[in-house]
Structure 1
């Protein structure tokens, strides 16, 4: 005869918990080390919501965190915002290392007097503007990013990063050629009005993929220039 016995197989197994930690290395817009303390690190998906601050060594830690996948957001008023997404945390006695992240001070480079001239014969449009930065040492490279789009409200969120790169010049005056082929590849048809906007970029910066939009977000971009309209050659 079988003897009945109690079992706990039908009881919920409690989730593992454990610590998750990481480091933050802030830099100023020239790439020099900045103070590491006081960076707020927020854990998306935690219930209740959790935020900790980095110490003098840039270290932060979340204690007794349930196993799962989390997004971390790093902020400080003098720095750009950075996100690290899909950090897996298994819990248990071994703490999870959430990597070392870099936060960059926003660029103080200002883009002045942008103009664009189009030449349908050569198939190019030439963007010209001046750059001003009160903290840039003499002889340093200016860096900037250009975004193009089909609407006047073109920004980093709505436009296309032209050529997907940054540019440098040792002068306070810049001239950038936009080609018909590259503009067409960005979805801008020849003969139609397009728009361009320029942002100053710090010497050292990082980026992440926004999981909501799939777009690359670049840290530390400065104030946007005026938006300039032009005809795609």
Structure 2
């Protein structure tokens, strides 16, 4: 009798372990396509040094890569998971909480080639009801293409593109290589940046055509297609 009980316990433990192992066996095939664009919204090509092939696509248990057309096939497990798309000079984009059930097609993901230049300078001046941010862009506009874009990050302390309280987008709008942006005191107050508080800013070149996402931990928007280096840090108090 005791032997039979032990045998049954052993079989039950084996079956339970088998079920747990089966949970990690890929049983879903996800297909999709990535679109890769320049900072002007045009398709990226070998001409700018960034290509659409070999972009890593990673799921819960496995990874794959895009082909020369930006297409991919990913074998993964059933269930909600984060799909991560990454490549050097493109940055990392995350499609959060994707419901992988059965074989399905993932919505189109747009990635952007990161600008290869840095915003050369950032200067802050105070107005009666706004902050004026100006500076020099590291590269001239190109005739016939949209103006180059940038993003300003504000924080009451050390600031970066991932640690900030407020971000504001702008464009090269003074000549071919300068910018001038107006950020109101009301915008600053709405972001918790109050009068009398020392505030820091940094400006990054931006590819505005790339998809963004909200980090679930910090609750901040992540901009994958920014220049890797920002401008100088400027300080002000209003």
Fold-level similarity (TM above 0.5) = yes
The within-5 A match list for 1:1-233 is 17-34=27-44, 35-43=51-59, 45-46=60-61, 50-63=62-75, 65-91=76-102, 95-119=103-127, 122-133=128-139, 136-138=141-143, 140-151=146-157, 153-162=158-167, 164-169=168-173, 171=175, 172-222=177-227, 223-232=229-238
Higher strand share: 1
1:198 shift after superposition: 0.8
Deviation at 1:28, TM superposition (A): 2.2
C-alpha offsets along residues 89-117 of structure 1, whole Å, 9 cap, x if unaligned?
123xxx12122111110023422232212
Structure 1 residue 56 displacement after superposition: 1.7
Q: CA RMSD in A?
A: 2.3
Match of 2:48 in 1: none
Is the Cα contact below 8 Å between 2:32 and 2:108 reproduced in 1?
A: yes
Separation in structure 2 between the aligned mates of residue 203 and residue 133 of structure 1, nearest angstrom: 16
Q: Deviations over 1:138-192 (max 9, x none)?
A: 36412111111111x2112221234x54445262122222322222222122133
* Distance of aligned partners of 1:205 and 1:170 in 2 relative to their CA distance in 1, 3 Å threshold: farther
| CA distance in structure 2 between the partners assigned to 1:108 and 1:133 by the alignment | 9
- What SS does the corresponding residue of 1:99 show, helix, strand or coil? coil
Structure 2: stretches of 5+ with no match in the other structure: 1-14, 45-50
Contact 2:171 2:179 in 1 (8 A): no
2:122 aligned counterpart, secondary structure = strand
Which structure features the higher share of helix residues?
2
Q: 1:182 to 1:66 in 2, by over 3 A?
A: closer
Runs (5+) with no aligned partner, structure 1: 1-10
Distance in 1 separating the partners of 2:169 and 2:208: 13
Secondary structure of 2:232's aligned partner: coil
